[in-house]
């Protein structure tokens, strides 16, 4: 399923709470980008999105290509736009460097849903937590034509990927309950890295 879909990992964040750029993190001594590629085992093209001054993090050479945001500090929505502007496939599956629990299973699930709805621009997942629900901006899958809407959002100084869920053409679907909490784990602090050891 993934051969004609680009896997994109956003790794341009500065990692303030972490104390260093997240693209430099290691899990069990292995660069986090290598960990992600090994775990996802993607069969199609791969793209790494970084930011000015944070190019070539450890493991970057394993990607088919690295693209760099034209401006630093605009967050993951800018990274998404950079990915959409540079993809050569009909779909792009996007996750972030700080989500070590993502596997091909989650990406393929979202890809299948988007493929079944040709008019959709993108799809995100919703997870249920106890009595509440939460929309998760990543992982997510988009068509390249979503870039016009994303560009408009950035131009209007709206930098939230989450906000795309409220725009026509972008859809949210329920994640299977058996994905588990590890799928949604974000590495934000040094303590989070220690818990991965």
Count of structural domains, the chain = 1
In the chain (197 residues long), the average pLDDT of successive 10-residue segments reads: 86 80 90 96 96 94 97 92 96 96 95 96 88 88 98 95 96 93 87 74
Find the CATH number of the domain harbouring 143: 3.90.550.10
What does the alpha-carbon distance between residue 9 and residue 21 come to, in Å, rounded to a whole number?
14
Per-residue confidence (pLDDT) for residue 131, from 0 to 100:
65
* Phi–psi pair at 113, nearest 5 degrees: -65, -40
Overall pTM surpassing 0.85 (yes/no): yes
Identify the pLDDT of residue 138. 96
* Residue found under tokens 């725009």: 167
Length of the chain: 197
- Determine contact, residues 63/45, Cβ cutoff 8 Å: no
**Which are the contacts of 111, defined by CB distance < 8 A and separation ≥ 6?**
1, 2, 5, 91, 93, 141
Q: Tokens 């930011």 correspond to what residue?
A: 51
Amino acid 192: pLDDT: 80
**In this predicted model, what pLDDT tens digit does every residue of 137-161 receive, in sequence order?**
999 999 999 999 999 999 999 999 9
Beta-sheet strand order (sheet of 122-129): 65-68, 46-50, 5-10, 91-96, 132-142, 122-129, 170-174
Domain range for 85 is 5-194
| Four-CA torsion 25, 27, 29, 32, nearest 10 degrees | -50
In this structure, are residues 95 and 139 in contact, taking their beta carbons and an 8 Å threshold? Answer: yes
């Amino acid at each position: 399923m993934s051969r004609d879909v680009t896997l994109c990992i956003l790794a341009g964040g500065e990692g303030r709470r972490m104390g260093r750029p997240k693209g430099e993190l290691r899990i069990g001594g292995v660069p986090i980008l290598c960990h992600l590629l090994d775990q996802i085992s993607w069969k199609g093209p791969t793209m790494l999105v970084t930011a000015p001054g944070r190019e070539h993090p450890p493991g970057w050479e394993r990607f088919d290509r690295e693209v760099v945001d034209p401006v630093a500090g605009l967050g993951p929505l800018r990274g998404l736009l950079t990915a959409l502007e540079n993809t050569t496939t009909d779909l792009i599956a996007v996750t972030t460097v700080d989500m070590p629990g993502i596997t091909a299973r989650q990406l393929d699930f979202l890809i299948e849903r988007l493929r079944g709805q040709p008019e959709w621009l993108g799809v995100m997942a919703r997870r249920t937590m106890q009595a509440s629900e939460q929309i998760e901006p990543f992982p997510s899958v988009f068509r390249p034509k979503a870039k016009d809407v994303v560009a408009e959002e950035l131009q209007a100084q709206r930098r939230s990927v989450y906000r795309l869920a409220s725009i026509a053409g972008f859809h949210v679907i329920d994640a299977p309950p058996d994905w588990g909490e590890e799928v949604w784990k974000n590495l934000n602090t040094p303590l989070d890295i220690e818990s991965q050891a």
